[in-house]
Amino acid sequence: MMTKIKPAEMNNNTNSSQLNLLLMSSSKAGDTGYLYHAKAWLSAHFQGKEVLFIPYAGVTMSHREYSEKVRLALADTDIQVRGIESYDNAKSAIENAQAIAVGGGNTFVLLNALYEKGLLELLQQRVFAGVPYAGWSAGSNIAGLTIKTTNDMPIVEPPSFSALGFLKMQLNPHYIDTHPPGFHGETRAQRLAEFMVLNPETTIIGLREGTALKVQGNAMSLLGSLDAVVFRNQKSEIIPAAADRSDYL
C-alpha cells in the first residue's frame, strides 16, 4: 500500500529558504497565445536552464504531444524543454533535472500519476533543495497543501489529496468572481467559503488568469496586472497587483 504524504509532516521536515517557485494561474491571458504572457517570467525564472516538463495533467492529448506543445510555445526563448516521458527512468530524470515545470490540465489526474509513479516525494525534495519549479493551473494547484480547492472534476481518485506542500496554504487558479445573469450555481467565492467552514485557519489565494505568485526563499510577490484574493476565516482580502505578500509564507 502506498504511504500517504501529509502536508504537516512535509513542512516540518523541509526548509523553505531555498524555494524558487513561479506559480501561474493559467497558460493563457485574455486572447494571447499559449504561454505568451508568461515567456518573460519563465525566461527570468529558469535563466537558460534545461527544463524537465511534466505533462501528466494532460488528458485529451498524449504526454509527448503535450511536451511538444510547450517546447514549441517557448522555442523563441532561451528555455530548453524536454518532456519527462522521453526518459527511460522518470525518477532519474527528476533527480538530475536542472529545473522543473508542470503543466495544467486535470489536477486529480496529475496528482494521481505522481503518486502512482512514486514521484511526489522526490519532486518535493528536489524543489525544496533549490531546483527552480514553475507550474500553471494544475501544476500550481499541487504546490499548495492539498488539491481540495481545485476547480477540476475528480475523474480519477488519487491515494490522497495531499500535495507538494511548498506553500502552507491552498491555491485556486483561474479565480473569477463574476456571476452571469440567470446563473444559479455557486460562485467560486461560495465554494471556497465551504472549504473555510471546515478549514478556518487555512489560507487560500485565488489567482486570476494572467497572474502568478513568485516565491524566492521567504519572499513572495504577485506578478501581473490584476489583483488576487485571499480567503481565511470566512473573510476575504485583496492583494493588489505587483504586491509583496511575504507575510503569507
Query: Active-site residue numbers?
Result: 137, 152, 174
Distance between CA atoms of 170 and 168, rounded to whole angstroms?
7
Please, are residues 46 and 134 in contact by the beta-carbon 8 Å criterion? yes
Distance between CA atoms of 90 and 102, rounded to whole angstroms?
14
Strands (E), the chain: 20-24, 50-54, 80-83, 99-102, 133-136, 170-172, 204-206, 212-216, 219-223, 228-232, 235-239
Residue 207 CB partners (closer than 8 Å, separation 6+): 23, 24, 25, 140, 171, 172, 173, 174, 175, 213, 228
Please, are residues 128 and 166 in contact by the beta-carbon 8 Å criterion? yes
Please, are residues 149 and 198 in contact by the beta-carbon 8 Å criterion? no
Please, are residues 7 and 118 in contact by the beta-carbon 8 Å criterion? no
Q: Where are the alpha helices (DSSP H) in the chain?
A: 7-12, 39-46, 63-73, 90-95, 107-116, 120-128, 138-141, 188-198
Position 112, amino acid: N
Distance between CA atoms of 10 and 240, rounded to whole angstroms?
30
Q: What cell numbers appear for 7 in the block?
A: 502536508
